[in-house]
Amino acid sequence: MPQRSSQPRHAPSRPSRPHRVVALVDENTNPFEVGCAIEVFGLPRPEIGRQLYDFALCAPSPRTVMRDGVFTLAGVAGLDAADDADTVIVPQRPDVEVPRRPALLDAVRRAHARGARLLSFCTGAFTLAEAGVLDGRRAATHWQWAHAFRARFPAVRLETDVLFVDDGDILTAAGSAAALDLGLHVVRRDHGAEIANTVSRRLVFAAHRDGGQRQFVERPVPRVPDASLAPLLAWAQQRLDAPLSVADLAARAAVSPATLHRRFRAQLGTTPLAWLTAERTALACRLIERGETRLDVVAHRSGLGTAAHLRALMRRETGLTPSAYRRRFGPESAEDRTVSRETRRFP
């Protein structure tokens, strides 16, 4: 796919206890991104049958006035709650010129020093940079504050036209809805494509938008009532195992391939071929997670054709070979029965 992948070259092993996620809240924090953190990491998942994360909010003060005084947050833990977190989500606020509190920055530095994973949404990258943990690292922030960020933190490698950046132990997202993109990316990285799809369905949100897609996607008001790609995408998702091409998608939409390409760029920030390949790779991951051990069958049912093509795409998109992906995310009961055959089936 032409988009840059922000996938890591490795992913954490499945934990023996729920991974602990703590979101820090500060004065004037944006409620939307806090809500995104709660929706992705903080809700029970009865549809999955197990707890994915142990989630908590914490703040440096007993009462925290949220953005523009819309409401006051109280009754959350103090900053010490972040000291045993596996993942720490840092605060984001629109007044980027206001220095963060020293106690909060110290909490971020302690988390980074002991190896916790750090996440930021929107202007949260300013918090990470002010704490000094982003120097020499790749990062994303909202396009509106990109110039101010570069002026203050020239040592950070800011990527201005992406949804999010996964730089291993530090992950940063651009504005607003990109927080959900990054959150679902983290769920996919921690628990696999099947679980991420389940979470996204509950959110009624796209399960996987590549981090390299553009932040600002033009959405002109259509001259006709139905210019949405949704019906076409739903149709294609039911036929991923068929030899679908961009020409087939264009014919289904009754437009030229060039028009279809423009619509994908405008509505999704990607190309038809890149979308199709990403959907097929995600389907291949789900098939492996459900217990399919035959690589040729996975390649055929996902529409990727050959085992070699599937192997190459999985390495590029997940950083794992099919056998490594299956060990990490496959059904545990089947894993014990097939471990002796795995080398032969997944060379």
Per residue of the chain (347 residues), give pLDDT as tens. Answer: 333 334 444 444 444 678 999 999 998 898 999 999 999 999 888 888 888 999 999 999 889 888 887 889 998 999 999 999 999 999 888 888 888 999 999 999 999 999 999 999 999 999 999 999 999 999 999 988 999 999 999 999 999 878 899 999 999 998 777 899 899 999 999 999 888 888 888 886 655 455 444 444 444 433 333 457 888 998 999 999 998 999 999 999 999 999 999 998 888 778 999 899 989 998 999 999 889 989 999 999 999 999 999 999 998 888 888 998 888 888 863 344 333 333 334 33
Highest CATH level, class, for 19-203:
alpha beta
Residue recorded with tokens 């790749």? 138
CB 133 within 8 A of CB 112: yes
Question: Which residue, among 241, 235, 238, 239, has the nearest Cα to 305 in the 3D structure?
Answer: 241
Question: What whole-number distance in Å separates Cα of residue 147 and Cα of residue 4?
Answer: 22
Question: What whole-number distance in Å separates Cα of residue 345 and Cα of residue 67?
Answer: 54
Q: How many residues make up the chain in this entry?
A: 347
Question: What whole-number distance in Å separates Cα of residue 26 and Cα of residue 9?
Answer: 33
CB 298 within 8 A of CB 287: yes
Residue recorded with tokens 């300013």? 126
Residue recorded with tokens 């679902």? 184
Strands 72-74 and 63-65: antiparallel
Question: Which residue, among 30, 78, 92, 82, has the nearest Cα to 55 in the 3D structure?
Answer: 82
CB 246 within 8 A of CB 276: yes
- Ordered by start, the domain boundaries in the chain are 19-203, 228-347
Classify domain 228-347 by CATH number: 1.10.10.60
Same CATH fold assignment for domains 19-203 and 228-347:
no
Residue recorded with tokens 């959900």? 180
Question: What whole-number distance in Å separates Cα of residue 22 and Cα of residue 82?
Answer: 6
C-alpha angle 92/188/113, rounded to 5°? 50
pTM of the model: 0.70
Contacts of 82 (CB under 8 A, 6+ apart): 22, 24, 58, 88, 107, 110, 111
Residue 73 backbone phi and psi in degrees, to 5: -95, 130
Q: What stretches of the chain adopt beta strand conformation (E)?
A: 19-24, 53-58, 63-65, 72-74, 87-89, 117-120, 138-139, 157-158, 164-166, 170-173
Residue 5: strand, helix, or coil: coil
